[in-house]
Amino acid sequence: MHSYSLVAPAKINLYLEIIGDRPDGFHELVMILQSIELADRIDIKPSDTQDIYIYCTHPQVPTDESNLAYRAAKLMCDTFPDLYANYGGVNIKIKKNIPVAAGLAGGSSNAAAVLVGINLMWELGLTQPELQDLAAKLGSDIPFCISGGTAIATGRGEKLDALKDLDNMWLILAKYDNTSVSTPWAYKTYRQKYGQSYISDRAGIKSRTAELHSSPIVSSIAQKNIEEIGKLLSNDLEKVVLPEYPQVAELKSAFAKQNVLGTMMSGSGPTVFALCESESKAIAVKQQVRNQITDPQLNFWVTRLSSNGIQIDDSTS
Ligand code: C5P
């Protein structure tokens, strides 16, 4: 059996609108998700035992069954018990580059890589849609992490419509090391504050979902109009996270003053990103904001948009 090394990219949300409640307790969302080049590396190897073993370079990442990558491997073992019995368990090594608990889908992307890696290692031959159906059982963002690129995501976030690739923009990500936001808290607080304005009927949800497909931001993406995309960024969760985390709000204001294309919190935060037309502009903006906010807990990453989901890492072969 072969071992595999995979690249697992992070994602940002260019658009996140909460439109209603779902019978399963989750929210109905309309989002635009975008892969970025900042990525973890995942090594998948067969084990000599029946165990699933996780090793991670980052001390904050759990290595037990609470890790989504562990749960992805367990799902494959449970779904294909004969192969698991024949081939044994899996060793998973995660080299973390994506900040943890940051609103960048790092854990979801690791889980996506495990599904793709085990599919290859066990020569299962599952198609991408089949892997995405399995992925949806583990988490709302994991199906997107498998295919990556630029996509409209609806339902819980698992229903995807690919858009034209947007790879002509750079971005700076910024996150305080000592700040993390609980995603369930952010959605629960949003429901408490804004639940009375949710769309409650299926027809209304369907029509709002359809509207996004012809919305200005989707047209700007089709035209690769980066100035317009920057102006149309939106994230409903900012309404609950920014008042609770003033540092994150200040960070966003600092980026906004730098004449960037646009700036927004990603997912449930607390990472803030700023879009730029070039790498040199992104580096200059990063330096300006670093000079204004000297807190050593604040970290920056300069990276660019990507059209890739999970890929085999051929840089190591
Ligand atoms: O699916 P995932 O594990 O990423 O979701 C994390 C949490 O975010 C959920 O437990 C839920 O509280 C919230 N969520 C939601 N509606 C969604 C996606 C996530 O309420 N569509």
Read off the tokens for 278.
């070039």
CB atoms within 10 A of CB 166: 22
Q: For residues 73 and 119, give the distance between their C-alpha atoms in angstroms, rounded to a whole number.
A: 10
Ligand 1 centroid to Cα of residue 306, in Å, is: 24
Establish whether residue 183 lines the binding site of ligand 1, counting it when its CB lies within 6 angstroms of any ligand atom.
Answer: yes
Verify whether ligand 1 is closer than 6 Å to residue 157 (CB atom).
Answer: yes
- Distance (angstroms) between ligand 1 centre and the Cα of 81 equals 29
Summarize pLDDT for 130-145 with one digit per residue, the tens: 999 999 999 999 999 9
Ligand 1, atom 7, residue with closest C-alpha: 184
Residue 5, pLDDT > 80, answer: yes
Decide if 141 is catalytic: yes
Q: How confident is the model at residue 204 (pLDDT cuts 50, 70, 90)?
A: very high
Q: How confident is the model at residue 316 (pLDDT cuts 50, 70, 90)?
A: low
DSSP secondary structure of 60-74:
TS--STTSHHHHHHH
Range of the domain at 307: 1-317
Count CB-CB contacts under 10 A for residue 37. 18
The rounded percent of the chain whose pLDDT value lies above 90 is 96
Residue type, 76: M
CA 87 to CA 236: how far, in whole Å?
A: 45
- Residue at 260: amino acid letter: V
Residue 144 Cβ < 6 Å to ligand 1: no
How many domains is the chain partitioned into structurally? 1
Query: Nearest C-alpha to atom 21 of ligand 1 is from which residue?
Result: 156
Continuous H helices in the chain: 68-79, 81-87, 106-121, 128-136, 142-147, 183-194, 202-213, 216-222, 226-232, 238-244, 246-256, 279-292
State in Å: Cα 64 to ligand 1 middle. Answer: 21
Task: Give the phi and the psi of residue 182 in degrees, each rounded to 5.
Answer: -80, 125
Q: Residue 111: is its pLDDT beyond 80?
A: yes
Per-residue pLDDT band at 250 (split at 50, 70, 90): very high
CA dihedral for 93, 97, 99, 105, sign (positive or negative): negative
CATH code of the domain covering residue 59: 3.30.230.10
Q: Whose CA is closest to atom 20 on ligand 1? A: 26
- Asked if the model's pLDDT at residue 317 lies above 80, the reply is no
Give pTM, 2 decimals.
Answer: 0.96
| 163 Cα–ligand 1 center, Å | 23
